[in-house]
Structure formats: C-alpha cells, structure tokens
Amino acid sequence: MKFKAEIGIIGVNPFVFVPGKILLKIFVQSGKSKGPIPIKGTINNKPYQQTLVKYSGAWRLYINTTMLSNSPKKIGEIIEITIVFDPAERIIKPHPKLVKSLSENKDAKKVFYNLSPSRRNEIVRYISFLKTEASIDKNVARAIKFLLGKDRFVGRDKP
C-alpha cells in the first residue's frame, strides 16, 4: 500500500498520519485494531521497520532518523511511503553488558522489571544498537543511573 504524507511533529517526534483506508487494511492483516502494530515498508524508497501506535486518539507512523535522515528538520515535507503489516517476531535480547549490570545491581534490576514493557524495550533496543564498546559501556552505566533515579536516559526523566 502506497501513499504520500506530510511530516508533522508532536512534541519532539516527527510523524505522519496513515490514511484511514490503509489503516483498515493493516487492521485486517494484523487481526487487531488496538495496541502497537508492527509494520514495514519504504520511505522515499528506503526500507524501514516500525510500529504503528495510537496516541491522543490518532494512529501515527513516527518517522525517526534511521528511517529518514534529519527527520526533525523535515517537518512539512511530503514523503512517499509504502506500508504493510509485518508479522515477523521482533524480540531484541538485552546486551550481555546490560544483563550483567542489572544482575550486579538488584535495585536497578527491580526498577527495570517494574517498568512497562515498552519502556524496558526502549532501553534494551537503544543499547543493543550501539556500535562501539565504549558507547555500550557508557550507556549501560547511564541506564543503571536512570533506573536508580539519578539521571535521564534516552530523553526520559527518572522512572
């Protein structure tokens, strides 16, 4: 399914609205019309994998910088999008250094497992996609501080 859309912004997050007819087809394909729906497609012919979410009464496709470079600077731009339900499983295992740090800090581990699944996944995903060992080490330490209420992490205030 293909459409064009103007990039908008809500808070600091660039997004596009998905046309109603396409949403209905995705609901049928996914077998649901509530909760996050995994999708894939292209933006300006570049492949992406993302999750459709409903926020503040509207379904949005958030456009991050891996999907479209400099996306926050492209508000108002019209982009070409293809979209389809993605049935592939999307489990990302926590980085071994995060697992080790959580096992060494019971207070942080308790907070981590009391976070919502989406917040836990956000932390796991962020650390898992880092490229250098130095970045991984630095961000695992920041994540632990965040879980202990001592710092911000991935743009989030203390839990």
Mention every residue, 6+ apart, whose C-beta is less than 8 A from residue 123: 98, 112, 115, 143, 146, 153, 154
Mention every residue, 6+ apart, whose C-beta is less than 8 A from residue 21: none
pLDDT mean over 3-32:
92
**What tokens appear for 18 in the block?**
């998905």
Tokens 């409903």 belong to 54
Residues 102-148: pLDDT tens digits?
A: 999 999 999 999 988 878 888 998 898 888 999 999 999 999 999 99
pLDDT value at position 3?
95
pLDDT value at position 158?
64
Question: Do residues 28 and 34 touch, judged by C-beta distance below 8 A?
Answer: no
Distance in angstroms (rounded) separating the CA atoms of residues 38 and 86: 5
Tokens 């920041």 belong to 142
Residues 40-66: pLDDT tens digits?
A: 999 989 999 998 988 888 899 998 877
Distance in angstroms (rounded) separating the CA atoms of residues 149 and 46: 38
Q: What is the DSSP letter of 72?
A: G
